[in-house]
Amino acid sequence: MSYEELLRVVHLSVGLGMNKLRLTGGEPLIRRGVLDFISRLADIEGLDEVRLTTNGVLLHEYASSLYASGIRQLNISLDSLHPEKFARITGKDFFKEVWQGIMTARDLGFRIKINIVAMRGINDDEFCDFVDLALNEPFSVRFIEFMPVGEKSSWQREQFIKADEIKDMVSGLGEFIPYKKGKFDGPARMFRLKANDGRQGNIGFISPISHHFCDQCNRLRLTSEGKLRSCLLNDQETDIKILMRQGITDEELQQVIKQTVLDKPKGHALQDLMESGGHMNCPGQMSRIGG
């Protein structure tokens, strides 16, 4: 979709009550003209917050411009704190660049969430180190269950760790005090951690498989190809790009958006499939859908 098409959808969605937007991918910072697009988004009346999810590789270069364009909150994917392991997980030796970007963003005053996909035998030996990061830095650290998304997904059942088990693995570090969830909060179960040594930090657990939050989910995802989907783990999509290019009116497009919400699946069956030993794979690719 062109930026003009994306802006039209955002304007109409804000008119229907949407007030938060997150740019994700893939990696949003590689798209040409993205900073100007973000500035135009920030000017939309009624859109209270624009957030960005990034792998952090280009963050040091873009951080100042992002702040100037109106971004104040970043979600940064970081599955290891060890450069060698980071390279094995991502396939690229960019840990130094990512860490530099995180530190630059911190110094500029961004609110930062660090997202860790938890994988048994891969990075479970670093969970306490990530908690320590939350205690030492003004970051919210969030552990995410490994999801079987993508036709060529690297997901393996034996690497899956339930969010409750992750919490148990770090529970000895202090007292976890749950935050009360607000009506428009995201899927994470957030805790204020009071560490045994007096430090404090914010820790979250996102459990799309073991404790799915489908009944609380208020997300819509629009892919770069113009497909509107109401569930990350269900490949039901509405092609609004083709409708827009066929001349759909604003009122008709708002009705399509509303219908996509009404058709939102009641839930997914990944937990049942896991327990039964069934096929665990969602065909959509995370880089296209936007996690």
- The residues spanned by each domain of the chain are 1-17+221-267, 18-220
Residues 139, 112 contacting (CB under 8 angstroms)? yes
Whole-number pLDDT of residue 233 = 73
Q: Which residues lie below 8 Å from residue 215, measured CB to CB, with a gap of 6+?
A: 266, 267
| Mean of per-residue pLDDT scores for the chain | 89
Which pLDDT band, with edges at 50, 70 and 90, does 83 fall under? very high
Whole-number pLDDT of residue 183 = 66
> What's the mean pLDDT in 231-248?
90
Tell me which CATH homologous superfamily contains domain 18-220: Aldolase class I (3.20.20.70)
What are 274's two structure tokens?
Answer: 């896991």
Q: 24-33, 102-111, 139-148, 282-291: which has the highest mean pLDDT?
A: 102-111
Residues 61, 92 contacting (CB under 8 angstroms)? no
Of all residues in the chain, the percent with pLDDT exceeding 90 is 73
What are 164's two structure tokens?
Answer: 């409750």
User: Does residue 251 or residue 183 have the better pLDDT?
Assistant: 251
Residues 137, 105 contacting (CB under 8 angstroms)? no
Q: How many helices (H) and strands (E) does the chain have?
A: 11, 11
Cα 195 to Cα 199: distance, rounded to the nearest angstrom: 5
Cα 151 to Cα 79: distance, rounded to the nearest angstrom: 21
Check pLDDT > 90 for residue 52: yes
Q: How many CB atoms lie within 10 A of CB 240?
A: 21
Residues 19, 46 contacting (CB under 8 angstroms)? yes
> What's the mean pLDDT in 206-227?
82
Whole-number pLDDT of residue 211 = 72
Q: Measured in whole angstroms, how far is the alpha carbon of residue 100 from the centre of its chain?
A: 21
User: Does residue 110 or residue 217 have the better pLDDT?
Assistant: 110
Tell whether omega for the bond before 33 is within 30 degrees of 0, i.e. cis: no
Among the listed residues 86, 112, 89, the one whose alpha carbon sits nearest the alpha carbon of residue 204 = 112
